[in-house]
């Protein structure tokens, strides 16, 4: 069984090899430690450093680079899968009711109130969505304490700045229809429905990403408390 000093030596070794993510480093340290203990048990005369060197050599000429690449890809797929699961949930019972309500709230004002200048409403939607994206970024940065150590599990789901651009999709759609194709949006009912759909999907995707991040963040805090 390796002592604490030897575990620290392995951790420092991983850092020197460019393993900057705490969770991935812990996984590799455990793997190295298991290999070293196995070699020392098979050959009682073998010292720690010799066993360490032989165990690392087993990773091949690429060292840790292959396992880092594999774990990063796995973390990315896991994050996207979780986000998609939460997003898909908004189209299944009972959350689909919330999605429909949101769509109706966004699509209803123009036909219900018979608003003649629909462009003013859509511009308001675009401004609202931009402000919503900024508030989402601020909320996440305040609500979730940034880890003291970088975590691979949070790499692909921790950034919400993408939504500042995502929420401009309805704005681009509006400008393309009005200025590009010169659509008379006051007499094009389909335009209102599409605009409401864009806005609804943008908000739902933000909520899905938030819930995915919260789940991954909570799991990371439980598994790696020292990283925080």
Task: Report the share of the chain in percent with pLDDT over 90.
Answer: 56
What share of the chain has pLDDT > 70, as a percent?
94
3-state secondary structure of 102: helix
Q: What is the mean pLDDT of residues 193-198?
A: 84
Ranges of each domain in the chain: 4-63, 71-227
Q: How high is the mean pLDDT of the chain? A: 88
The contacts found for 160-166 with CB under 8 angstroms, 24 or more apart, are: 160/133, 160/136, 160/206, 160/209, 160/210, 160/213, 161/137, 163/133, 163/136, 163/137, 163/202, 163/206, 163/209, 164/130, 164/133, 164/134, 164/137, 166/133, 166/202, 166/205, 166/206
**Range scoring the smallest mean pLDDT among 51-55, 59-63, 69-73:** 59-63
pLDDT tens per residue, range 134-186: 887 888 888 898 899 999 999 887 565 555 566 666 777 777 777 777 777 77
Whether this prediction's pTM lies above 0.85 is answered by no
| Angle 210-215-217 from CA coordinates, rounded to 5° | 90
How do residues 83-122 score in pLDDT, each as one tens digit?
999 999 999 999 999 999 999 998 888 788 777 777 777 7
């Amino acid at each position: 069984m390796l002592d604490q000093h030897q575990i620290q030596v392995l951790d420092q070794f991983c850092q020197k090899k460019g393993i900057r993510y705490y969770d991935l480093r812990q996984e590799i340290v455990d793997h190295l430690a298991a290999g070293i203990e196995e070699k020392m048990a098979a050959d009682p005369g073998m010292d720690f450093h010799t066993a360490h060197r032989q165990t690392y050599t087993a990773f091949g000429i690429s060292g840790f680079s292959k396992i880092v690449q594999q774990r990063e890809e796995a973390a990315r797929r896991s994050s996207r899968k979780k986000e998609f699961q939460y997003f898909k949930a908004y189209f299944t019972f009972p959350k689909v009711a919330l999605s429909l309500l949101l769509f109706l709230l966004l699509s209803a004002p123009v036909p219900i109130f018979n608003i003649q200048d629909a462009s003013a409403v859509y511009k308001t939607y675009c401004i609202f969505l931009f402000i919503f994206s900024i508030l989402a970024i601020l909320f996440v940065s305040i609500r979730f304490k940034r880890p003291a150590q970088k975590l691979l599990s949070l790499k692909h789901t921790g950034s919400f700045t993408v939504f500042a651009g995502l929420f401009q999709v309805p704005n681009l759609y509006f400008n393309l229809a009005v200025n590009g194709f010169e659509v008379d949006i006051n007499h094009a009912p389909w335009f209102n429905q599409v605009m409401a759909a864009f806005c609804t999907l943008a908000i739902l995707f933000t909520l899905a990403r938030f819930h995915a991040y919260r789940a991954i963040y909570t799991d990371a805090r439980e598994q790696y408390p020292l990283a925080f």
